[in-house]
Amino acid sequence: MNRRTVIKNLALVIGGAVLLPSCLRKDGTSYVQLKHISLDGDQQNLIADIAEIIIPKTDVPGAKDLNLPAFVLKMLDDCYNKKDQLAFLAGLDKFNTLVKTKYNSTFSDLSVKDKEAVLIGIENSNKPKAGSKAPARRPKPQKNMAADPLNAFYWSIKQQTIFGYTTSQFFMTKEIFYDMVPGRYNVHFPVSKLKLKLA
Amino acid sequence: MSANTYDAIVIGSGISGGWAAKELTEKGLKTIMLERGRNIEHIKDYVNANKAPWEFAHRGGRTQQMIKDYPVLKRDYPLNETNLDYWVNEKESPYVEVKRFDWFRGYHVGGRSLMWGRQSYRWADVNFEDNAKDGHGVDWPIRYKDLEPWYGYVEKFAGISGNRDGLSILPDGEFMPAMEMNCVEKDVAARFKEHYKEARAFIIGRTANITVAHNNRTNCQYRNKCWLGCPFGAYFSTQSATLPAATATGNLTVRPWSIVTKILYDKDTKKAKGVEVLDAETNQTYEYFAKVIFLNASTLNSAWVLMNSATDIWPDGLGSSSGELGHNLMDHHLGVGAGGIVEGFQDKYYFGRRANGIYIPRFRNLNGEKRDYVRGFGYQGGAGREGWGRDIAEMNIGGAFKDALTEPGLWGMGIGGFGETLPYHENRAYLDKTKKDKWGLPVLAIDAEIKDNEKKMRIDMANDAKEMMEAAGVKNVQTYNSEGVLGRGIHEMGTARMGRDPKTSVLNGWNQVWDAQNVFVTDGAAMASTACQNPSLTYMALTARAADHAVSELKKGNI
């Protein structure tokens, strides 16, 4: 697949997210052709599995259903500089080693519960210390973290998965109320109306 | 009359060029508008305007390729995936930075009127008087009362929404109904008022987005996608407003891909007789002739055109006899402000995306106050709710986290300063003939920086922002004060300033080049100081006033 086809497919995927199943293949062949970062099928699967734990399938589609792994890979490929890509790759190795050491298994073969435990372990290792000054605004997890490649790896996937999810057609048309042409400005709009499930 | 002869030539098609074309054609002058870049047709060519967020491959972000291709644009917010085609190709049109100067350009019909911030404020008496009072720069040859009727004239046509706040520092205009503050801004405004009384003001932004239908333009639909081009024509641009009016007269010819390389000066009549144009597509050279020329190529490029003109008489170009052409380059210095969170209002949101914010007009060095710097600054800002990522303890992955993402985050409120920059003779742009652009033309070298006055002002800009936010009940307020880089404000001004004396200024009080009185420069180049208000409305008023004068002088046979 050349780049143009990838972009076209991605547009299709994003446009018709719910209709298209994930094209992740069981045989490990890569499903996104990358130009600037080298990730084999197993590595792409790992990223997809992590994304699926962050945004799992519930009563509504999850990361894989929405093809968010393809979005994460596209962002990694096109938008990250060499240095960040190398940190990501180093972090990927470190992540695999961490899982192997603790569980003697690959991440993908772990139970959902163990997969969650691995990710929560990384989350907790970055919690601000007790008594530290509260940030003025929403804390950006990427800021002020130890320059550990494991963090670069995990937070890149998490950030792009959430970014992809909250800007997906599914989320913006089925989960929250997003109007392309609002037509007016109403300053008394209750939050309850924003969430379609409650509205 | 030959095919290349018109009554008037307008160089440039942005905010001021569009106004010049409208005024001159409506007064009956056969006019050609020359634009160096491509055409962008209203609505039809706004290719991304109707795309949903998920239709952009990188959701609007920037790729490494874009960062490589746009080494200047990447320095700030304009580099993005959604309107990349509106920004100049930096490889084709380079410039030299003797000191860092962020020059963000748009070379196409409409110029930066397509991407501008639309905040529209009148200047006040004090802004025209400051130069004379504190001795920086030269005295403005005009005062507020000279421009007042023209402000009203351009506001009525452009469509400016705003509140009549009754402030002497920020005169009221001919406004359409104001946009509304959201619930947090209203709350902050009330506490601000209680604390500062009449000493400082916190008002809704005055913006060139129409809030009622006007001249076949639909009122603002609250999409907040202005800079993609508005399919409703709801904000003022050349395409939505001045171009249709000029076209309707039957007197306008628009010629895209036309790089004006020089103004043709006739030393016998001491007037310009036309311009030389390099066709950017074919590299052919053409000449166009007219009785009057409006130079509206944007501050730095207008200076560039003048520097390349009449060099056989004045080696440094038309208008250089004063020694001020290219000098006194200014911008608003910004990147300093404060923000924090606002508690409460968790059940409140807003419907619609308002392309406007709040404004705090200048309050320093007025009414006898004397800080350790001169002039002042204003702030733009606003309150909003953050999106995903409400800090949810022990719930940062998984189904519950996923559900929580539909919950908007905390309310935040922030303000950022826009500071006045003094006119310094040594802040300048000049031709660097050793470096050429794609068309073999010499490029500009820019050598400008902020100095002590601005640096001292920035300390107040940060501290005052924090103090005001805290007084208004904003919590966890943090300040920022980044490097004060010129150009970043995208309010370049002053390379061909107006003045009272041909020895110290390039233009007279009617924007005429002293040395060629049928050449009018009415873009940012003409500014003798910057005030701290966003400048485009003043360019519009100066242009309409100058066009009126030009036609009157033509009729009298004076030019």
Q: Distances in Å between the alpha carbon of B91 and those of B68, B358, B443?
A: 10, 37, 12
Task: Answer whether A137 sits within 8 Å of B350, measured CB to CB.
Answer: no
Total domain count, chain A = 1
Does A7 fall in a domain?
A: no
Find chain B residues with C-beta within 8 A of A138's C-beta. Answer: 386, 389-391, 409-410
pLDDT score at B507? 98
Model confidence at A20: pLDDT above 50: no
DSSP-derived letter for residue A172 is I
Quick check: helix, strand or coil at residue B540?
helix
Does A189 fall in a domain?
A: no
- Determine the residue among B176, B218, B397 to mutate to test chain A binding: the one whose Cβ has the most chain A Cβ atoms within 10 Å: B397
Find chain A residues with C-beta within 8 A of B234's C-beta. Answer: none
Query: What residue type is B488 in one-letter code?
Result: R
Does A121 fall in a domain?
A: yes
CA A106 to CA A103: how far, in whole Å? Answer: 8
Which of B371, B333, B342, B109 is CA-nearest to residue B243? B109
Does A63 fall in a domain?
A: yes
User: Which residue from B minimizes the CA distance to A167?
Assistant: B54
Q: How confident is the model at residue A33 (pLDDT cuts 50, 70, 90)?
A: confident
User: Which residue from B minimizes the CA distance to A68?
Assistant: B54
User: Which residue from B minimizes the CA distance to A113?
Assistant: B398
CA A38 to CA A7: how far, in whole Å? Answer: 18
Altogether, the residues listed in chain B come to a count of 559
Range of the domain at A112: 37-127+140-175
Does A8 fall in a domain?
A: no
Does A59 fall in a domain?
A: yes
Find chain A residues with C-beta within 8 A of B54's C-beta. Answer: 14-15, 17, 167-169, 172
Which of B331, B311, B276, B271 is CA-nearest to residue B99? B331
Nearest to A186 among B55, B351, B408 (CB): B351
Quote the ipTM score: 0.91
Model confidence at A16: pLDDT above 80: no
Does A145 fall in a domain?
A: yes
Q: How confident is the model at residue A130 (pLDDT cuts 50, 70, 90)?
A: low
Model confidence at A17: pLDDT above 80: no
Task: Answer whether B405 sits within 8 Å of A166, measured CB to CB.
Answer: yes
**Count of other CB atoms within 10 angstroms of residue B267:** 10
Q: Where are the alpha helices (DSSP H) in A82-198?
A: 82-103, 112-125, 149-166, 169-170, 191-194
Spell out, as residue ranges, where chain B has pLDDT lower than 70.
1, 388-395
Find chain B residues with C-beta within 8 A of A183's C-beta. Answer: 221-222, 352
pLDDT score at A129? 56
Model confidence at A138: pLDDT above 70: no
pLDDT score at B357? 98
Q: Distances in Å between the alpha carbon of B260 and those of B34, B154, B280, B539, B546?
A: 8, 27, 10, 21, 21
Does A132 fall in a domain?
A: no
pLDDT score at A128? 61
Which of residues 491 through 530 in chain B touch A, CB cutoff 8 A?
Answer: none
Q: How confident is the model at residue A32 (pLDDT cuts 50, 70, 90)?
A: confident
Query: What residue type is A20 in one-letter code?
Result: L
Task: Answer whether B348 sits within 8 Å of A190, measured CB to CB.
Answer: yes
- Determine the residue among B228, B349, B469, B470 to mutate to test chain A binding: the one whose Cβ has the most chain A Cβ atoms within 10 Å: B349
Per the rule left: phi > 0, alpha: psi between -120 and 50, beta: everything else, B514 is alpha
